[in-house]
Chain A
Amino acid sequence: MSVKSLIRRNYNKQPELDFPDYKSSIFRAPKNKKISFPSSDSEILGPIFNKNIIGELDNNLTLNFSKNKKSPLGHKIIVYGTVSDQFSNPIEGALIEIWQANSAGKYLHDKDKNSAPIDPNFAGCGRCLTTSRGYYEFLTIQPGPYPYPNRGIEWRPMHIHFSIFGKSFGQRLITQMYFEGDPLLKHCPMVNSIADEKAKKSLIGALDTSRSNTQNLLAYKFNIVLRGIKQTYFENRREGL
């Protein structure tokens, strides 16, 4: 017999929920301490997603919304990497969903009040499942930075939003990938809500010059790590070993 448990989350390497520099957190971040408890089946067993939900162009944001095969404006980029767990095991079949602004820094969304233009050939929405080696890849357009109301007007660094499902509800992750060298990074309160410098840096996609120079686009590498799951065996009831 064995018990499975998720590796405890290290909150020193996660963002602060209550971070007043990011104004919207003030009335939304809960004040009480979260309750910790041993993982139960619901945190470990699924959900997982079937291949048949993914369409052929779902990971190609340069074509999945284009009219008459017209390209969206901006320069093309490839964003790629792996999804693994904390033991470096690749996770196969992880669902990655992404969303982003267009090259002008505008989202295709009624609530985006930025005056930048929408791009009729770009929705900014993509998804894929990782391969057996945990690999994923998106072809998209470099998102623009954009202004938003915070403490007055502030600018978001260029970023792509990522939502990831591994094999377990307890591995669920929502994050953002940033771009190497962006001067806005150090001014962003959402980035700075993470105190640990190494953790912060792990969200920055690295320019892959070798790939960029052989293809007609810039390539960025962004590896994602989901929580590990430990299995503890009970000596006295060991079975099948």
Chain B
Amino acid sequence: MTTSKENLDETPFQTAGPFLHIGCMPNAIKIEKLYQNDLGETPFKNKNESELITIEGSVFDGNGFALDDVMLETWQCDENGEFREESGFARFIPNNLTKKFILKTVKPGSFKGFDGKIHSPYISLSISSRGLNMTLNTRIYFEGDELKNDPLLSIIKNCNENSLIAKKISKHSYLFDIFLQGEEETIFLDI
């Protein structure tokens, strides 16, 4: 870490393509014996079912088709609002029949950031796939939480901010659909 001027350009992105599973989640496509587990199968180990929430949804393209060749990655703090480096990361794909993804995780806590501000609970989400020349980034906030003073939500008041808020379906389950294009286009972030 330094405060001087950077001297190199970031390496450019390229699309992850349709075969990303080979490198990122080989077990999910039955390349089995290479890695014991796919990375990010469970964001937090040793949690009881009762401590977990589910977030379910689909990723829709501009034709309204739910995609099954996208890879989603999430990164979050724990229930106490702490980022724990080796826990909190998850990687998953939609089911190829239902086209829905399901994330089971702990609901993140709110936290006081190094900016000194209180951040509402959220999960960072990235989306990579064929047709996306760069990985997309967004966030999942939660309906029912105090969201008014969140530093990010408070600067995006004039667009489709509801696209960042998962709808509460029951006590422990939420719905979060992602729209790549169209009237309901999800807000994507220049993180």
Residue numbers of A with Cβ under 8 A of B are 1-4, 6-10, 13-17, 19, 22, 24-32, 34-50, 53, 55, 58, 64-65, 84-89, 95, 97-99, 107-112, 123-127, 161, 163, 169-170, 172-176, 190-191, 193-194, 198-200, 202-203, 224-233
Say yes or no for B189: interface residue by CB 8 A criterion: yes
Q: Are B21 and A109 in contact (CB under 8 A)?
A: yes
DSSP majority for the B interface? loop
Chain B's nearest CB lies how many Å from the CB of A44? 8
Residue numbers of B with Cβ under 8 A of A are 1-4, 6-24, 26, 29, 31, 33-37, 39, 61-63, 67, 69, 73, 75-77, 83-86, 88-89, 111, 113-116, 119, 122, 124, 126, 128-136, 151-152, 155-156, 159, 180-181, 185-191
Chain A residue numbers with a CB within 8 Å of B86 are: 46-50
Question: How many angstroms between the C-alpha atoms of A199 and B134 in the bound complex?
Answer: 14
Chain A residue numbers with a CB within 8 Å of B9 are: 10, 13, 86, 198-199, 202, 225
Q: Which of A49, A58, A200 has the most CB atoms of chain B within a 10 A radius of its CB?
A: A49
Q: Which 10 residue pairs of A and B lie closest in terms of their CB atoms, listed nearest first?
A: A99-B23, A24-B131, A28-B131, A86-B6, A27-B62, A15-B133, A47-B89, A45-B83, A46-B85, A99-B22
Task: Contacts A32-B159, A176-B14 given; indicate if A127 touches B126 (C-beta within 8 A).
Answer: no
Chain B residue numbers with a CB within 8 Å of A110 are: 29
Chain A residue numbers with a CB within 8 Å of B129 are: 28
Chain A residue numbers with a CB within 8 Å of B3 are: 230-233
CB-contact partner of A163 in B18, B23, B151, B187, under 8 A? B23
Question: How many angstroms between the C-alpha atoms of A216 and B9 in the bound complex?
Answer: 33
Q: How many A-B residue pairs have CB under 8 A?
A: 273
Q: Are A125 and B6 in contact (CB under 8 A)?
A: no
28 A-B residue pairs with CB within 8 Å = A7-B10, A14-B12, A22-B15, A22-B133, A25-B132, A26-B131, A28-B130, A29-B132, A35-B159, A40-B119, A46-B83, A46-B86, A50-B86, A53-B37, A86-B7, A87-B7, A89-B2, A107-B19, A108-B31, A110-B29, A125-B22, A163-B16, A172-B73, A172-B126, A176-B14, A202-B11, A225-B11, A229-B1
Q: Are B19 and A225 in contact (CB under 8 A)?
A: no
Task: Contacts A29-B131, A125-B31, A229-B1 given; indicate if A98 touches B12 (C-beta within 8 A).
Answer: no
